[in-house]
């Protein structure tokens, strides 16, 4: 991408940044809670994916093929879902 030959560069004076930048404006408890929320949504997405597999790929598999079938479905599911939760919920 070209910006018409108008190249600008910036330098950051790290000495003038606040301590703990860029997370300095909130308490550590906030960032911990935010991390837990993100992890919870990731777990929920994984659980919904397994539920979709259970509901849509329902057929008898030999025991040794179940994990392979799930991984194949999960790869296709992940490729189709641009918005993770939007795509997941629409398939339910």
Question: Helices 66-80 and 28-56: crossing angle, nearest 10°?
Answer: 120
Q: Does residue 89 register a pLDDT over 70?
A: no
> Angle at Cα 53 formed by Cα 76 and Cα 92, nearest 5°?
95
Q: pLDDT (tens digit, 9 = 90+) per residue, 12-64? A: 899 998 888 888 888 989 999 999 999 998 888 888 878 887 777 677 888 88
From the centroid of its chain, how far is CA 67? 22
Q: pLDDT (tens digit, 9 = 90+) per residue, 58-86? A: 778 888 888 888 788 777 666 555 455 55
pLDDT at 90: 56
């Amino acid at each position: 991408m070209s910006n018409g030959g108008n190249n600008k560069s910036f330098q950051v004076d790290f000495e003038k940044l606040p301590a703990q930048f860029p997370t300095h404006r909130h308490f550590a408890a906030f960032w911990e809670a935010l991390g837990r929320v993100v992890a919870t949504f990731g777990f929920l997405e994984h659980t919904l994916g397994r539920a979709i597999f259970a509901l849509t790929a329902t057929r008898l598999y030999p025991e040794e093929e179940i994990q392979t079938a799930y991984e194949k479905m999960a790869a296709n599911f992940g490729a189709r879902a641009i918005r993770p939760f939007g795509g997941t919920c629409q398939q339910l």
